[in-house]
Amino acid sequence: MSPLSNAYLKPAQLQQMEPFYPLHAYVCEQCYLVQLQEFESPANIFSDYAYFSSYSESWLKHAKAYTEYMIERFGFNNTSQIVEIASNDGYLLQYFKDKNIPVLGVEPAQNVATVAQAAGIPTVTKFFGVKTATELANEGKTADLLLGNNVLAHVPDINDFVGGLKKLLKPHGVITMEFPHLLRLMEQNQFDTIYHEHFSYLSFITVEKIFAKQGLSLFDVAELTTHGGSLRIFARHTEDDTKPLTERVDNLRQLEKQTGLDDIKTYQIFAEKVRETKRKILDFLIPIKQAGKTIVGYGAPAKGNTLLNYCGIRTDFIDYTVDRSPHKQDLFLPGTHIAIHHPDKIKPTKPDYVLILPWNLKDEIIEQMAYIREWGGQFVVLIPEIGVI
């Protein structure tokens, strides 16, 4: 049982009843799609959203490098139309706009879309699917490049979403989607990335089937280091023969089969590994607290809320956490009620340990917070395994 991972609490809400929902991933025996039940509608999860992409410097670098690569590979220019689904605060489209390439964002969260619009990024505030795609296509907004980063896992009706991609793509257009790779999630024990706003957990073999059903073919794939190991898929209309299949597609398909992603037993073994990880984490933290040491958190990511709630780690273990985003500061983590402060709070309180919750950004965070060494402070990560740095 777990609260919604981005349902941060205001001080006045701490004494109120808080909804918890089952956090249980299921796997289909036919197509091997791993998914959660839908307990809360996307409208309630995403309409006012606390995650702003621009607060991660490494993510901005990733977005800029992607922009340059796509322009070089496919030749997008000022006659092209770039459309990003779940465009957040314009963190990526700004780099295409800087090169005078027409852009359009589609972002359901009004508070985030407003920031993008203020930065001069045209943004439509809607959820994406066949209906929205049809409306945009009728307005002449079909895409030469249709992209989405970390959105494919967030949609409960994945067939409607991919059907919308088909509808909005020009005859010779390209789709790229980035999403956490289920293979890496299981290999590296990243169970904390399972939370209610991620409806699906995706392997290449499953995504290939979903896209094929809508008349789209995956012609290339890249393995990325982002979010603990992601895939970037490249798709085209099945009837578009101008983009040949790369050998990376077949290689990845074979790798997933070799590692058992088409065998239910693989998923059952992972479930037991997660339970064992919880026991190890508590065995690590309890002696630290018994020795009178102090632990604070760094970051307030959704994944951290899964980890803390599943392991029962609350204010009896962690004094507070900090986050660079002002949209999270002065709030409290859902379920655990750990206070979120500005990072400046760490220096005067001199904790013994700083637990890095967004472990995918640990190098960036360790560099920013190196001064904790002055009083003998140490960094801790718990995923993929416990490490003191």
Q: Which amino acid is at 298?
A: Y
The secondary structure element, H or E, covering residue 71 is: helix 57-74
| C-beta of residue 48 within 8 angstroms of C-beta of residue 10 | no
Averaged pLDDT, 152-159: 93
Q: What is the dihedral of CA 298, 301, 303, 305, to 10 degrees?
A: 80
| C-beta of residue 234 within 8 angstroms of C-beta of residue 219 | yes
| C-beta of residue 374 within 8 angstroms of C-beta of residue 350 | no
Residue 163 has pLDDT above 70, yes or no: yes
CATH 3.40.50.150 intervals, the chain: 33-261
Structure tokens at 128: 């994406």
Structure confidence by residue, pLDDT tens digits, 260-315? 999 999 999 999 999 999 999 999 999 999 999 999 999 999 999 999 999 999 99
Residue 55: per-residue pLDDT: 65
Higher pLDDT, 58 or 28: 28
d(CA 212, CA 128) in angstroms, rounded, equals 19
Topology at the third CATH level for domain 33-261: Rossmann fold (3.40.50)
Structure confidence by residue, pLDDT tens digits, 242-264? 999 999 999 999 999 999 999 99
Structure tokens at 126: 């809607």
Higher pLDDT, 242 or 6: 242
Structure confidence by residue, pLDDT tens digits, 344-384? 999 999 999 999 999 989 999 999 999 999 999 999 999 99
Residue 39: per-residue pLDDT: 75
- Percent of the chain, pLDDT > 90? 89
Residue 184: closest CA among 383, 382, 26, 25: 383
Query: How many alpha carbons lie under 13 Å from residue 261 in its C-beta half-sphere?
Result: 25
Residue 228: per-residue pLDDT: 82
Structure confidence by residue, pLDDT tens digits, 191-232? 999 999 889 999 999 999 999 999 999 999 999 988 789 999
For the chain, the average pLDDT equals 94
CATH 3.40.50.720 intervals, the chain: 284-388
Structure confidence by residue, pLDDT tens digits, 39-52? 777 666 665 665 66
d(CA 169, CA 148) in angstroms, rounded, equals 13
**CATH homologous superfamily of domain 284-388?**
NAD(P)-binding Rossmann-like Domain (3.40.50.720)
Residue 47: per-residue pLDDT: 59
DSSP letter, residue 91 = T
d(CA 16, CA 293) in angstroms, rounded, equals 31
CA 182 and chain centroid, separation: 12
Structure tokens at 194: 């399972």
| C-beta of residue 305 within 8 angstroms of C-beta of residue 280 | no
| C-beta of residue 260 within 8 angstroms of C-beta of residue 205 | no
Structure confidence by residue, pLDDT tens digits, 64-85? 999 999 999 999 999 999 999 9
Residue 21 has pLDDT above 90, yes or no: yes
For 164-167, which contacts have Cβ atoms below 8 Å and span 24 or more sequence positions? 164/128, 164/129, 164/130, 164/131, 164/132, 164/133, 164/134, 165/85, 165/133, 165/214, 165/216, 165/235, 166/133, 166/214, 166/215, 166/216, 166/237, 167/130, 167/133, 167/134, 167/137
Residue 107 has pLDDT above 70, yes or no: yes
Structure tokens at 322: 């900090």
Binned at pLDDT 50, 70 and 90, residue 37 comes out as: confident
d(CA 377, CA 389) in angstroms, rounded, equals 10
d(CA 221, CA 112) in angstroms, rounded, equals 29
- Percent of the chain, pLDDT > 70? 96
